[in-house]
Amino acid sequence: MIELTPSENDDPAFLTLVQRIVNGAIAILEVREVCLVHIDNWFDHKWLGWWSSWDHKELKKLYIPPFNPNRVCSQKHFIWDEQNSRWMVTGQGKPLHHRQAGRRSSSARPLDHLSKCAAFIWYSGNTLANRAGSLMVYLSGGPQAYAWYASFRKEQNWTIADEFEITRRELASFEEHGRQMELIQA
């Protein structure tokens, strides 16, 4: 299982929820490479498909969203180790976020140029103070662009606040699959 490591401003309950969704999603989608990026603060749905190609409200080609590198708390690269049936951390991987102009330029990088088949996952930090969090997933290498965004809020417990390009039913399925994986591993 891929574990999300909390920083001092992260709500452990939020990280548990996101970790379950992430692990359930990558298992169901049969992903074997993951780039996990922890962003310093909440980000909204406008980051979904930023700089990407759209056609009639459908994503066609995904580009790395232009988060300022100052916002990146950490980036980890994982590869599925078939022999040992577990995720191996291989370090940071290729840095995704560089200083770049605000408009798409030659510095915008297509997702498929970084990996032919991987999940790129961004999740927000500072969830203790904000009581809000976000999660965004892109997949490279598919015949069609696959990307989604979900936001969460905490009242008594963490719940889904909004979702784009994914349904609440799919998110619940990913979370439940991740929960089952935790039970099997325990």
- For residue range 87-118, list pLDDT tens digits in order: 999 988 888 877 665 555 555 676 677 788 89
Closest Cα partner for 177 from 23, 12, 14?
23
Residues 82-117 as b/e (b if ≥16 CB within 10 A, e otherwise) read eeeeebeeeeebeebbeebeeeeeeebbebbebbee
> Within 10 Å of residue 175's Cβ, how many Cβ atoms?
21
pLDDT at position 116 is 80
In a domain, residue 124? The reply is: yes
Closest Cα partner for 139 from 118, 122, 123?
118
> What is the count of structural domains for the chain?
1
Mean pLDDT over 126-144 rounds to 92
pLDDT at position 107 is 58
In a domain, residue 101? The reply is: no
In a domain, residue 115? The reply is: yes
Closest Cα partner for 37 from 79, 8, 85, 78?
78
- The residue range of the domain holding 47 is 12-96+107-185
In a domain, residue 151? The reply is: yes
Residue 40 has pLDDT above 90, yes or no: yes
In a domain, residue 4? The reply is: no
In a domain, residue 1? The reply is: no
In order of 21, 55, 90, 101, 148, the CA distances from 28 in angstroms are: 10, 27, 22, 36, 15
Q: Does residue 3 contact residue 20 with C-beta atoms inside 8 Å?
A: no
**Pairing mode, if any, of strands 119-124 and 132-139?**
antiparallel
Specify the pTM. Answer: 0.91
Q: pLDDT (tens digit, 9 = 90+) per residue, 41-65?
A: 999 988 887 666 666 667 667 888 8
Maximum Cα–Cα distance across the chain: 47
**Residue 185 binned pLDDT confidence (cut-offs 50, 70, 90):** confident
In a domain, residue 47? The reply is: yes
pLDDT at position 100 is 60
Question: What is d(CA 51, CA 110) in angstroms, rounded to the nearest whole number?
Answer: 9
**Residue 75 binned pLDDT confidence (cut-offs 50, 70, 90):** very high
pLDDT at position 148 is 96
Question: Where does residue 30 rank: exposed (0-12), middle (13-18), buried (19+ CB within 10 A)?
Answer: exposed
In a domain, residue 7? The reply is: no
